Amino acid sequence: MSHRILVTDEIDREGVALLRAVPEFEVDELPTLPAAELLERIDQYDAIVGRSATRMTDALLRRATRLRVVGRAGVGVDNIALDTATELGIAVINAPAGNTVAVAELFFGGVISLLRHLTQADVSMHEGRWERSELLGTELRGKTLGIVGLGRIGGEVAHRAHAFGMDVHAYDPYVSDERFAALRVKRARTLGEVLAVADFLTVHVPLTDETTGMIDAAALQQLRHGAVVVNMARGGIVDDDALRAAIDRGQVGGAVLDAYAKEPLTGDHPFRPYANVVLTPHIGASSAEAQRNVAVDACEAVRDALLRGDLSRSLNGALAGEDAATLGPALWLARRAATVARALLAELGGTAIDSLTLRTGDDLTASAGALLAAAAAGTLEGVVEAERLNLINARSLATARGIVLATGGGGGFAPHSRAIEVRLVAGALSMRVGGVAALDTPPRLTRIGDFHVDVAPRGTLLVLSNHDVPGVIGRVGTTLADAGVNIAEYHQARLAAGGDALAVITIDGAPPAHVRDTLTALRDVSSATLVRFGSDP
């Protein structure tokens, strides 16, 4: 299967080469396109890789009927309508680690430039002046660095700050105590705590509803007198008007800014005249090494998503952060167990699903969210457009249809630590289907309703309800043989001799349309359900 990929915004050649090396890919490299032209072309592509210059708006994503992956060669995704992408099942992949060192190094470059008046010194020397006595600077040693956001970049800044002899404090409620200890950073339990001790305040958080305007007038008032504010993350996290006012009254001694609420800066921006504000044109990631790294990271992730369905590096995928290779069999089983449960429930008359509950063995409890998404996808197969149903949007699509989703966790459940059970409810009817996704053997279904079974959910399954009497298996086998249907596996289960029984039969290919009716017409066969799966891995 071939895939067409649009590469724009001058992605580094090493990253593009990874895509061009794949025979199944057709790669178009184009400069940053005007919005109208991109809107006309986007429906031709399965993936797009770009940087911040290309805006992936709601309208653009809805026009992109083939699009499966958006690759962002960089960290920020505020140029991408992430909610829309999730709704449409489009994976959004960024490259969060590639520019980490570049930004951390620029932080110290900018701060030292401010403290040692390097810009003024350079200008004066080039203009023929010698102003040594007027350029008295300040050292970093012994000062307190306050970091808001101790993620990848914040952590790199903290690590390097120790080399300068700085005391490092940070505020990040989403980071463990263990990471603080490993980085030798003192934990601030509130934003106010870190503001109160900071001689230098730097923000390394994404721009969200929570962080927009985080460093406002009230926050700046809490800083130590003469503190320096640094923003190399995203414009809007620091309130520029409040920062300018704080500098004017001397509360803030200066600033280093690489990100702005509106870019590029044009005209007489208010900060341009300030000698104690270092301005750079959003160059935090603009090192040759960083551009190569983020391009390679993004293109690798796009390649793997298209070729293998690996969503472990997507921001909006259920697999984000998971080990795709290890979890893959469990995802496959959860989706197929739900498909079987839905088909059997429909046979009983339960077509409108009210709820889906997933239970897992202990080893899979941590991945219950991803497995629930897979089960939701199995529940919705044949209900929504197949090309737009995947692990990214399955949960939201199920919820939109009124299906209540829940997980039951581990807690010693079931006979195996990698067991999975899906339970669907439709009105007064319910159906549960379970199995085991062991690491050393192929996934198997081990329970349908109250019956214990052992069968691989591949190709086409034929599930029969029958009475446990002699001759049924022979009559079923003869009927399938007469129809030219080959049996791959046949598993017969019963609750008690002479009572109800269940046959689960794996057959090759799709049977003729009349087979189901022929089977249900057999003596002692009460129902026959065909379950057709998609392609097998």
Q: Answer for the pair 178, 202: CB distance below 8 angstroms, yes or no.
A: no
Q: Which of 49, 53, 61 is nearest to 19 (CA)?
A: 49
The CA radius of gyration of the chain, in Å to the nearest whole number, is: 30
- 529 φ, ψ to 5°? -120, 125
C-beta atoms surrounding 140 within 10 Å: 18
Asked whether 69 and 91 are in contact (CB, 8 A), the reply is yes
- Determine how many CB atoms are found less than 10 A away from the CB of residue 509: 10
* 446 within 8 A of 414, measured Cβ to Cβ: no
Out of 152, 224, 234, 395, the active site residue is 234
Catalytic-residue membership of 234? yes
CA 277 to chain centre: 37
Q: Which two tokens stand for residue 260?
A: 């702005």
Q: Cβ neighbours of residue 183 under 8 Å, at least 6 residues apart? A: 150, 155, 158, 159, 168
HSE at residue 401, side-chain half, CA atoms within 13 A, is 20
Which of 131, 263, 289, 387 does the annotation list as catalytic? Answer: 263
Q: Cα(362)–Cα(345) distance, rounded to whole angstroms?
A: 27
- Which one from 282, 313, 359, 423 is the annotated catalytic residue? 282
| Residue 282 is a catalytic residue | yes
Collapsed DSSP state (helix, strand, coil) of residue 352: coil
263 has catalytic annotation: yes
Pairing of strands 3-7, 47-50: parallel
258 contacts 284 by C-beta, under 8 angstroms: yes
Annotated catalytic sites, by residue? 234, 263, 282
